[in-house]
Amino acid sequence: MSFNPKLCRNESEVESKLIVQYLLPILGYDASTWHQEVALGSIRLDFLALISPIIPTSSDSFPKAFPKICVVMEAKHPKQNLNFHVRRLRRYLSNLQVLYGVLTNGKDFRIYELDGDGINLIFQCQGLEITDKIPKIKDIIGRDKLAGLETSQSQSSIDFPIPIKNITLPSEPISLVTSEPITMKTIAIYHNKGGVGKTTTTINLAAAMSRKGLKVLIIDLDSQANTTYAAGLMKFDNEDDDMLKDGNVYNVIHYPRSNYIPDIALKGSFTYPAVDVIPAHINLIWQENTLIDQESSKFQLVKKLELVRDQYDVVLIDTPPSLNLYAKIALIACDYLIIPSDLKPFANEGLRNVRNFIQEIDEFRSYTNRNGIKVLGVLPSKILTNANYIKATLPKQEKVIAERYGFPVLETRIFQREDLSRAVDNFILEGDIQTPDPKSIFDFKPDSISAAEFEELANEVLNKIGMRP
């Protein structure tokens, strides 16, 4: 029996053809000793291979009651660089105190070993070499090998969990569409510096969540209306055909007893399943003065969102790169905040403004008996793909965010790739007429690395807001 990496064209095939059909059986793990899509608190493992049919009963029981001598296996898309995922595997192994972890995309196969709070790469080969290297692989993570390690350790030093027969594990990934009501979560995408990827993040995060069965609403509060365009709502050629000027986010904010969200929301054409969008308009620039004179405008979005709490699971608010009224309205209305940043000097310096702005808004929210904004983290976005930069510079830049500005950094990274810009710039050519037809990365190129990155971002965000994917 041999393995051919050319048969793996996507992540699903890496899971099924390499891990399930080939690797696990040949390493001695039968159906009772490996489990797929294992969720433990905020950690979700692709595969967990055990010496015997045991697993913790709940997230409350680990790491104390987690089997230390086992193998976590993570599968990635064949086009993904495994270096981007080492940090997450390290978190899994260190948090669970698991001895070994496998990271593979079919073309590259790696085994890491836990070392304190870090991990060491102890074996690596190409996908074409896996068959020839099986004896070596079995000698590291084969079931018989690990069983020998278990018996060599003092039983008193290991706290084993209870047999798996007492709990039920899902055979398929858990769907977010359940009969249980989901409390609507509102997330603002904000940075006071422009050009850091707010629109790209909003559009593709919305698409990723919609594909998981969630009902998503996008609100565009930026007068540049880039998100409105990217959602496919600006297909008119001149002012006479502009249907958005009389029905956009200004109407929602300005009129307290009319222009409710269901009246203004439009279906975006950028993704399937469809996402509702409250569009922006360039007129927001001069309409801001009217809203400033209307003190209640700060609260109208909060009130109108409250009326649709049963209609949406997630609301994503794209914001202007400023400290203006529209940015304040967004941060007053949100529960959570994501801060996209390219981590360059000006973006980093802008984080001081963001931090002060959040403090100002939180003080205002306290007067209205609202909790403070929960910052999910700075999202590294529009990141260069240069290997030396990723290895040497990027980790230092991320470290600065936490140490100097006090913000957490999300684990997901969104790299600057041509597919993302081509998706937004997509168009339909009919004769000599070029009609904009922007798409999410999932609808433009679903097997791309960028799509995989936004899928990972959606999973991380949903975990952090208590809506486990």
Q: For residue 320, is pLDDT > 80?
A: yes
The tokens describing 40, both together, are 């433990």
Architecture (CATH level 2) of domain 185-464: 3-Layer(aba) Sandwich (3.40)
- In sequence order, the β-bridge partners of residue 218 are 277, 316
Q: Cβ distance 5 to 125 under 8 Å?
A: no
| Mean local confidence (pLDDT), 222-246 | 83
Query: Of 182-196, 374-388, 422-436, where does mean pLDDT reach its minimum?
Result: 422-436
Of 260, 250, 258, nearest in space to 223 by CA: 250
**pTM greater than 0.75:** no
Average pLDDT of the residues of the chain = 85
Q: For residue 247, is pLDDT > 60?
A: yes
For residue range 115-125, what is the model confidence (pLDDT) as tens digits?
988 899 999 99
CA distances from 18 to 10, 26, 75, 128, 447 (A): 11, 11, 9, 11, 18
Residue 58 has a pLDDT of 44
Q: For residue 412, is pLDDT > 70?
A: yes
d(CA 266, CA 253): 16
Q: For residue 169, is pLDDT > 70?
A: no
Residue 68 has a pLDDT of 82
For residue range 38-85, what is the model confidence (pLDDT) as tens digits?
777 667 788 899 887 655 444 444 445 567 889 999 998 888 888 878
Please, is 183 exposed, middle or buried when counting C-beta atoms within 10 Å of its C-beta (0-12, 13-18, 19+)?
A: exposed
Architecture (CATH level 2) of domain 5-166: Alpha-Beta Complex (3.90)
| C-alpha atoms less than 13 angstroms from C-alpha of 28 in its C-beta half-sphere | 18
CA distances from 404 to 349, 352, 407, 411 (A): 10, 9, 8, 18
CA distances from 261 to 35, 279, 363 (A): 43, 11, 27
Residue 153 has a pLDDT of 55
Residue 162 has a pLDDT of 29
| Mean local confidence (pLDDT), 453-468 | 91
Give the 3-state secondary structure of residue 70: coil
| C-alpha atoms less than 13 angstroms from C-alpha of 119 in its C-beta half-sphere | 28
Domain residue ranges in the chain: 5-166, 185-464
Q: Cβ distance 221 to 319 under 8 Å?
A: yes
